[in-house]
Amino acid sequence: MDLGLTESQELLRTTARSFMEREAPVDVIVGLQKRESSLDPGLWKKAAQRGWPGITIPTEYGGSGERLSDAAVLYEEMGRGPLPGPFFSSGVLGALTVLEGATEEQRRRILPGVARGERVLAVAITEPNASWGPGGITLAPQGRNGSYVLNGTKLFVADATSATDLLVAVRTGEGPTDVSLLHVDAKARGVTTRRLPGFVSWQCEVSFDNVAVPAGAVLIAIICGYFASRPANLDAFEDIRAQLEADV
């Protein structure tokens, strides 16, 4: 097996390295570390013009449709800074979560904006005084007036202060694997984000105070912290959506 870089990957590496040297020297990166948000508008716009926030997103959703090995080349060069910004939390973790867990309509509504850098995703899973596994997710949506209402807190949410959209893990039943994701507007009334002190990276706390979420915001079920096969996902998705809508 040939593990060497392809010609296009070599070009990507050269482009990314030149970008880092020109746009993100050490003094710029040190200055950015003091900010509440990891997203520098100027740097983010220039990276978006190069298609980097959408490197893992298929072309049918507005991304460049590159392989994960291509993304690895890009992120290796970014890591030389390291370059602050929600590149991984939005363009990889968030985008791949939507690709794997959302409906086709949701993908087409969310991912093009992520690829253009107009939307920034953050995945909110862990909670105070709870474990890291699915059994530790206790935040449960309540049905009210045709929508869901969230009250609670998520911790260690990477780049939440930069996010426009949150993918929030919520409890949908009593079983340890009865967990789903809700797509929540990060700027909605009742959503508060703050950077946690003492971290070099932008790990954040997200609080929800009577946050109303539309009924169509359910993404998918998570089984034991991992996505199951596509048919099982769709079955679980329909069961959970029906359950939540019955509560509403």
Ramachandran category for residue 192: left, alpha or beta (phi over 0 → left; psi -120 to 50 → alpha): beta
Instruction: Give the closest residue to 196 by CA, choosing from 160, 237, 226.
Output: 160
User: How high is the pLDDT of residue 235?
Assistant: 45
| Mean pLDDT of all residues belonging to the chain | 86
| Residue 217 pLDDT > 60 | yes
DSSP labels for 65-100? ---HHHHHHHHHHHTTTTPPSSHHIIIIIIHHHHHH
Cβ contact 41:117 at 8 Å: no
Q: What does the pLDDT look like over 9-51, one tens digit per residue?
A: 999 999 999 999 999 888 888 888 888 888 999 999 999 999 9
Cβ contact 30:45 at 8 Å: no
Length of the chain (residues):
248
Cα–Cα distance for residue pair 182/149, rounded to 1 Å: 11
Q: Count H helices, E strands: the chain?
A: 8, 8
User: How high is the pLDDT of residue 134?
Assistant: 81
Q: What tokens does 70 get?
A: 């291509």
Q: Residue 178's pLDDT band (boundaries 50, 70, 90)?
A: confident
pTM of the model: 0.85
Cα–Cα distance for residue pair 241/95, rounded to 1 Å: 22
